[in-house]
Amino acid sequence: MKKLLSVFLFALSMNVMAQMSVALSDNSCMPSDGGCSVGSSVPSDNSCMLSDGGCSAGSSAGFAIHELSDSIFQRMQGKSYPKGCTVSRAELRYLTVLHVDAKGKVHRGELVCNRLIAKDLLDIFKQLYEAGYPIERMQLIDDYGADDERSMQANNTSCFCFRAVNGTTKLSKHAQGLAIDVNPLYNPCVKGSHVQPATGRAYADRSRKFGYKIERGDLLWRLFTERGFRWGGAWRSLKDYQHFEKGGDGR
């Protein structure tokens, strides 16, 4: 009898462990380097909370907010995060998102931003992805040596980079992680005859129709402006069609 009871209890414990394993595999959102892994499944309440900077509430597979892992922070050293950078690591967040290009191909994107706008950006890019709004490329600017011109010429969407406004000593909103440039090749910064990136000159003529173009009233413009971002395309002294920022000076 004791032998039969032992067999029964062993079988029961194995069944409970199997059920727990299934539950975890079907309904998990496990932190990896301080956030949720891209592609992780989502709990039944569609949330994945870590203390101040894990995944934001409402995050879903492919879309997450992370604290900066050691590997990401090291990747930024001497590039977007140079020696003497006055923005603390704790102020920044690493976002992973999905986006589609103009051909409908799905890509995994990444960017670093200020924690104050991380939830805004996550929500915006999730809605853009669901609507099929095209974004060609989204990599850390560190992959381009933190060279803004190179990143723009590659049509790379990026956010944080500790640098001054081009041609000045004034820190850019990018230096705080409070500005983002979207599809920059096709939405150049134009001041008089000066165009950045240099290869975007053909797209300075906003009367033309072409892919990746940001226009007042389109979905991307609405999603950013509804959340309090200023659009550089509405500035007076120059037109920065790629640029959205919070706390802007309305140039």
Instruction: Give 27-96 as a DSSP string.
Output: S---BSSSSBPTT----TTS----TTTSSPTT--TT-EEEEPPHHHHHHHBTTTB-TT--S-GGGEEEEE
Query: Which pLDDT band holds residue 48 (cuts at 50, 70, 90)?
Result: very low
Rounded distance between C-alpha atoms, residue 34 and residue 51, angstroms: 10
pLDDT, tens only, 178-236 = 999 999 999 999 999 999 999 999 999 999 999 999 999 999 999 999 999 999 999 99
Rounded distance between C-alpha atoms, residue 141 and residue 147, angstroms: 7
Between residues 138 and 16, the one the model is more confident about: 138
CB 67 within 8 A of CB 39: no
What pLDDT does 90 receive? 98
pLDDT, tens only, 74-95 = 999 999 999 999 999 999 999 9
- Per-domain residue ranges of the chain: 33-245
Does residue 12 have a pLDDT over 50? Answer: no
Query: Which pLDDT band holds residue 22 (cuts at 50, 70, 90)?
Result: very low
Record the pTM: 0.76
H-type alpha helices, 27-147? 70-76, 115-131
Does residue 38 have a pLDDT over 70? Answer: no
Q: What is the DSSP letter of 32?
A: S
Rounded distance between C-alpha atoms, residue 88 and residue 155, angstroms: 28
Between residues 162 and 16, the one the model is more confident about: 162
Q: What is the DSSP letter of 208?
A: S
Query: Which pLDDT band holds residue 49 (cuts at 50, 70, 90)?
Result: very low
